[in-house]
């Protein structure tokens, strides 16, 4: 039975207000409007950015809301005028859209599609939501809202990928991997033979390490206050790892001692104003480049101007500087061709109804977690979703 054009009832993790846990609820997901796509989410990661959103009580969120921005799934149906994906296609969700028409998309060196700004309202075109729960509209998040069995996303925020791609792995291309890897390759433009340091060895920081290695860096120093992160960081390319809490001197002084003149490329992948200053101060005085990858929304930086005087630079990055739609399809193909490896970034696979446990695992740092993948197929009895069909397991999950 086709679900096209019908409201789908399914389950989602809803955040009703700031400071409360997620609650798993039945939601109604409206059919996609013009230029929108309804997707059966098969796997979605929990990224450090969700933790930041929960901790910072940011003005960016409107409540109630469905979070989640790092996912892969199968197109269930498409709205009027959608031409680049069709029912049954495997896709990746993109918090950073690529409309292909705005001044940014048409500029080869710009990747920040102007359409991304609409996500701040938490609403789709026409100022409306596609989700309701208990009779109330529920806000979207980051153009994606993937902590739901089904979501509605604009066509420009969806990338079609290889039909053979394992969705429970390539969902990391949707944010964590691409952000970190691209921060090294596109934003910093790490050079062969260079020395790099990476502050924060979560899923995104490990992906920075992979990017530095792919760019030919000779020395990659991992920095984290959780020493349990070091083994994996070394497997992925870190040449050494340091815990700043074990040091008698500030980390920047130790990095200067180790390298003679500071590191050429430094990455802050935590989202902490103090480590941003330490990362910048760790850079080579004349030409060191520091890239802030960590999320610093609603945060002021207080950095000594003297750090810049000799020539260091400090820059940010969103989604690793990739033009999102075209690059993610290629990155998935690179994964399929074994040119990149996502598998070590996944340490836990949980059901979406364990979302609060996953948040605790990530927040408390008792874990060795990179990114946690939720498999929505484990959510509960199929009958809770309207429109179950026959076919393969993933097709069945897509309701097609």
Residue 268 touching ligand NAD (CB under 6 A): no
Residue 201 interacting with ligand NAD (CB under 6 A): yes
Among 66, 270, 355, 379, binds ligand NAD (CB under 6 A): 270
Q: How far is the C-alpha of 202 from the C-alpha of 10, rounded, in Å?
A: 31
Q: How far is the CB of 144 from ligand NAD (least distance, A)?
A: 13
Q: Does 157 bind ligand NAD (CB under 6 A)?
A: no
Which residues in 235-254 contact ligand NAD (CB under 6 A)? Answer: 244
Residue holding tokens 């429109």?
387
Cα-Cα-Cα-Cα dihedral sign, residues 272, 274, 277, 282: negative
Q: Does 318 interact with Zn ion (rule: CB under 5 A)?
A: no
Structure tokens at 143: 């153009």
Q: Does residue number 205 form part of the binding site for ligand NAD (CB under 6 A)?
A: yes
The one of ligand NAD, Zn ion, none whose footprint includes residue 139, by CB under 5 to 8 A per kind, is none
Choices 46-54, 84-92, 329-337, 338-346 (CB under 6 A): range interacting with ligand NAD = 46-54
In this chain, which stretch among 198-206, 303-311, 350-358, 377-385 interacts with ligand NAD, using CB under 6 A? 198-206
CB 253 within 8 A of CB 263: no
Looking at beta carbons only, is 295 or 397 nearer to Zn ion?
295
Q: How far is the CB of 24 from Zn ion (least distance, A)?
A: 21
- Is 47 one of the binding residues for Zn ion (CB under 5 A)? yes
Tell me if 8 sits within 8 A of 41, measured CB to CB: no
> Which is nearer to ligand NAD, 11 or 213 (by Cβ)?
213
Residues 78-107, one symbol each (x = binds ligand NAD by CB under 6 A, - = not), give ------------------------------
Q: Which listed option, Zn ion, ligand NAD, none, makes contact with residue 200 (CB within 5 to 8 Å by class)?
A: ligand NAD
Q: Using CB under 6 A, which of 250, 273, 344, 365 touches ligand NAD?
A: 365
Runs of H (alpha helix) within the chain: 48-56, 103-106, 167-170, 176-182, 203-214, 230-236, 251-259, 273-281, 306-309, 324-336, 355-364, 393-398
- In the set 32, 64, 200, 387, which binds ligand NAD (CB under 6 A)? 200
Tokens representing 16 are: 């009703």
Which residue's CB is nearer to ligand NAD, number 52 or number 284? 52
What distance in Å separates the CA atoms of residue 240 and residue 220, rounded to the nearest whole number? 7
Q: Which is nearer to ligand NAD, 175 or 283 (CB)?
A: 175
C-alpha closest to that of 278 among 199, 164, 380, 363: 199
Strands 36-46, 371-375: pairing is: antiparallel
197 binds Zn ion (CB under 5 A): no
Sequence-separated (6 or more) residues with CB below 8 Å from residue 119: 95, 140, 141, 142, 143
Q: Examine residue 223 and tell whether it contacts ligand NAD (CB under 6 A).
A: yes
# binding residues, ligand NAD (CB under 6 A)? 33
Residue 322 binds ligand NAD, judged by CB under 6 A: no
Residue in 49, 157, 195, 327 binding Zn ion, rule: CB under 5 A = 49
Helix (H) or strand (E) holding 292: strand 289-292
Where do we find the tokens 């020493």?
A: 227
Query: Does 67 help bind ligand NAD (rule: CB under 6 A)?
Result: no
> In Å, what is the CA distance from 339 to each residue of 117, 210, 259, 325, 332?
33, 11, 30, 19, 10
DSSP state of 290: E
Distance CA 264, CA 259 (A): 10
CA separation for the pair 92, 170 (Å, rounded): 8
Q: Does 175 bind Zn ion (CB under 5 A)?
A: yes
Residues forming contacts to ligand NAD in the complex (CB under 6 A) are 47-49, 52, 175-176, 179, 199-205, 223-226, 229, 244, 269-272, 275, 293-295, 317-319, 362, 365
Residues forming contacts to Zn ion in the complex (CB under 5 A) are 47, 49, 175
């Amino acid at each position: 039975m086709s679900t096209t054009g019908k409201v789908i009832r399914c389950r989602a993790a809803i955040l009703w207000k700031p400071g409360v846990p997620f609650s798993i609820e039945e939601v109604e997901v409206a059919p996609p409007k013009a230029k929108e796509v309804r997707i059966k989410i098969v796997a979605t990661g929990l990224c450090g950015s969700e933790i930041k959103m929960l901790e910072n009580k940011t003005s960016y969120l409107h409540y109630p809301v469905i979070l989640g921005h790092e996912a892969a799934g199968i197109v269930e149906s498409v709205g009027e005028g959608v031409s680049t994906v069709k029912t049954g296609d495997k896709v990746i969700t993109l918090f950073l859209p690529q409309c292909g028409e705005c001044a940014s998309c048409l500029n080869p060196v710009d990747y920040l599609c102007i359409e991304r700004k609409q996500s701040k309202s938490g609403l789709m075109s026409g100022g409306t939501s596609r989700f309701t729960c208990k009779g109330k509209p529920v806000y979207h998040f980051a153009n994606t809202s993937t902590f739901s069995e089904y979501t509605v996303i604009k066509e420009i925020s969806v990338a079609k990928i290889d039909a053979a791609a394992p969705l429970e792995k390539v969902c990391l291309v949707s944010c964590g991997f691409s952000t970190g890897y691209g921060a090294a390759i596109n934003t910093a433009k790490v050079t062969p033979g260079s020395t790099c340091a990476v502050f924060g060895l979560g899923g995104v920081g490990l992906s920075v390490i992979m990017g530095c290695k792919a760019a030919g860096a000779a020395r990659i120093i991992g920095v984290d206050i959780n020493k349990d992160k070091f083994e994996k960081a070394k497997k992925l390319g870190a040449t050494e790892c340091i815990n700043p809490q074990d040091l008698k001197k500030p980390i920047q002084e130790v990095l200067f001692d180790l390298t003679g003149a500071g590191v050429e490329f430094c990455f802050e992948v935590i989202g902490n104003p103090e480590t941003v200053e330490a990362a910048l101060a760790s850079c080579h005085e004349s030409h060191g480049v520091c890239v802030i990858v960590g999320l610093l929304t609603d945060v002021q930086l207080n950095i000594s101007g003297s750090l810049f005087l000799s020539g260091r630079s400090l820059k940010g990055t969103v989604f690793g500087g990739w033009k999102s739609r075209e690059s993610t399809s290629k990155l998935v193909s690179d994964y399929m061709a074994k040119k990149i490896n996502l598998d070590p970034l996944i340490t836990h696979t949980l059901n979406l109804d364990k979302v609060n446990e996953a948040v605790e695992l990530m927040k408390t740092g008792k874990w060795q977690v990179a990114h946690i993948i939720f498999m929505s197929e484990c959510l509960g009895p199929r009958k809770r979703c309207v429109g179950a069909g026959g076919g393969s397991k993933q097709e069945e999950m897509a309701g097609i």
